[in-house]
Amino acid sequence: HRVELELPDGTCVEVTTPALAGDGWRLRLAGVAPGGADHFVQLRVRTPEGLRVDGLRVTYTLDLTPAEAALGCVVLVPTLSGTVQLRVPAGSSSGRLLRLRGRGLALGDRRGDQLVDLRIVVPEALSDAEAALYRRLQELADGD
């Protein structure tokens, strides 16, 4: 990835960041500071909110309601290149990983995948009607 940086003295330099360079990396720019000295920069890498990068792989945690996990659903998921639709299969459990092939970082001709980690979130507070439905579901699961 190529970026243009302005040094403290106003000089602009073009820098190529190494593939897979991460947040906090320090780069040495040889001979670009006044008097031919080296200049060091620290990278700040921004990724869309919720995405985590590990090598070429990108991971996103998707919160689902119990109903969405049980019945399946189609959701919008952020990726490095924009939002995509993802079909969550019926009967999904917390911890299931769904793969979006080729949606990770690229290095040469290789491209990583994005994993979507499903997390079922149970409501903290239930209305009377919701509580009654959950009780009925439990009765059905118990064979009543």
pTM tops 0.85, yes or no:
no
The answer to whether residue 103 sits within a structural domain is yes
Of residues 2 and 71, the one with the higher pLDDT is 71
Instruction: Pull the structure tokens for residue 116.
Output: 């979507």
The answer to whether residue 61 sits within a structural domain is yes
Exposure letters 15-41 (e unless 16+ CB within 10 A, then b)? eeeeeeeeeeeeeeeeebbeeeeebeb
- Percent with pLDDT over 90 in the chain: 54
Residues in contact with 85: Cβ distance below 8 Å, sequence separation at least 6, in sequence order:
74, 75, 76, 77
Give how many domains the chain has, as a whole number. Answer: 2
pLDDT at 51 exceeding the cut of 80: yes
63 and 110, same domain (yes or no):
yes
DSSP code of residue 35: G
Of residues 97 and 104, the one with the higher pLDDT is 97
29 and 62, same domain (yes or no):
no
Q: What is the pLDDT of residue 19?
A: 66
25 and 59, same domain (yes or no):
no
Domain residue limits at 9: 2-42
30 and 57, same domain (yes or no):
no
22 and 59, same domain (yes or no):
no
